[in-house]
Amino acid sequence: MTESLHNPESIHFGSDNYAGAHPHVIDAIATANGGHVPGYGDDPYTARLGEVARELFGARAEIYPVFNGTGANLVALQAMTPRWGTVLTAASAHINTDEQAAPERIAGIKLLTAAEPDGRLTPADIARAASATSPQDPHRAYPTVLSFSNSTELGTVYSRDQTRELVTAARKAGMRIHLDGSRLANAAAASGATLAEMSEGVDVVSLGGTKIGGMIAEAIVVREPDAVGGIEIIRKFSMQLASKQRFVAAQLLALFEGDLWLENASHANAQARSLAAKLREAEGCEVPLPVEANAVFAKLQPGVANAVRARGISFYDWPALPGVVRLMTAWDTPDTAIDRLIQAIRTATQQMAGSDQR
């Protein structure tokens, strides 16, 4: 048996995908193991996952397990976007900031972006983008697909009313609608709504499982089959079709067949609120953005972030907000890890203040 190469007691705040897999997910993989079943999705676990998807998202829903969130987004957007079309998204969206040039180089899709200070697109953004050109203009790209994230890259959550307004504006402009739901569970937990309610009116959802306790567990949920074309073929040539798909499907079943997705997301959200409250009480700390899901953006005194990281606690700077760091809580973040982080920030702040006085 391989020895552990890391300290299993260490908890970080760099991302919720730093966390390990939930024990129920590990158990589900073990249960799916053993014996032979057909590959490439023609197995009983994938079949059951299809039933669960319809229970969660509606009778017409179809689900396609994939390896990762970037793959889910690219396969979905390729299936939704005509060759002459473009995708409108927030400037802070993951497909624009953290997926390298994958939308352009792999999917051949041009992105049009709108800058919003809290990461949430508005109907006005859609109206501006649509009115800047027309579908018949051969010189300027016209947005044919809207892609928005919930929760957003800035940790904010679209309410159900805000989602409805966005969907209405997109439909008026003739757009199909994609929801990057890598943290849709967190948004739903924060809103007290179901996954179906949080994606009402949306054509396709990239459904995240890895960040809420999966190992390799992402999926594309097609709520409106008429909005996609050739998605199964696109998934294959985009290298997102698993030969042993039963193991991906089993993870998603563990998370979404019951309420584990909600329990894990609710815990992560609650720990983010706790962390934010303690940061606001700490000297020299600010929390400049609302904490609505499981992301906390904090402004620390100069030098404090690096001093805390030197103590072995990982998290990221946020270049779009100078002097601000992003702290993510996860399904397994304990109170002790939050207390350790706060104490490290306080100690570093005091040390910096002492250095300034010398």
In the chain, what are the domains?
17-258 (3.40.640.10), 262-353 (3.90.1150.10)
pLDDT given for residue 357 in this prediction: 59
User: pLDDT-derived band of residue 180, with 50, 70 and 90 as boundaries?
Assistant: very high
pLDDT given for residue 267 in this prediction: 98
pLDDT given for residue 352 in this prediction: 82
User: pLDDT-derived band of residue 353, with 50, 70 and 90 as boundaries?
Assistant: confident
pLDDT given for residue 339 in this prediction: 98
Radius of gyration of the chain (CA): 21
- Angle between helix axes 160-172 and 123-131 (nearest 10 degrees) is 10
Residues with Cβ within 8 Å of residue 14, at least 6 apart in sequence: 314, 315, 316, 328
> In this predicted structure, which of 127-131, 258-262, 317-321 has the lowest mean pLDDT?
317-321
Comparing CA positions, the residue from 284, 283, 280 lying closest to residue 272 is: 280
User: pLDDT-derived band of residue 2, with 50, 70 and 90 as boundaries?
Assistant: confident
Please give the C-alpha separations between residue 184 and each of 150, 218, 222, 318, in angstroms, as whole numbers: 6, 12, 15, 22
d(CA 146, CA 227): 12
Mean pLDDT, residues 239-258: 98
Judge contact between 69 and 210, C-beta under 8 A. yes
Q: Mean pLDDT score of the chain, rounded to an integer?
A: 96
pLDDT at residue 107 tops 80 = yes
d(CA 159, CA 219): 23
pLDDT at residue 190 tops 80 = yes
User: pLDDT-derived band of residue 319, with 50, 70 and 90 as boundaries?
Assistant: confident
pLDDT at residue 358 tops 70 = no
Structure confidence by residue, pLDDT tens digits, 303-316: 999 999 999 999 99
Judge contact between 87 and 68, C-beta under 8 A. no
Residues with Cβ within 8 Å of residue 270, at least 6 apart in sequence: none
pLDDT given for residue 331 in this prediction: 98
Mean pLDDT, residues 79-91: 96
What are the backbone angles phi and psi of residue 71, rounded to the nearest 5°?
-60, -40
In the chain, beta strands by DSSP E: 62-66, 86-90, 110-114, 143-149, 176-181, 204-208, 218-222, 295-299, 316-317, 324-328
Structure confidence by residue, pLDDT tens digits, 230-241: 999 999 999 999
User: pLDDT-derived band of residue 356, with 50, 70 and 90 as boundaries?
Assistant: low
Q: Which of the two residues, 147 and 356, has the higher pLDDT score?
A: 147
Q: Which of the two residues, 323 and 70, has the higher pLDDT score?
A: 70
Structure confidence by residue, pLDDT tens digits, 7-49: 999 999 999 999 999 999 999 999 999 999 999 999 999 999 9
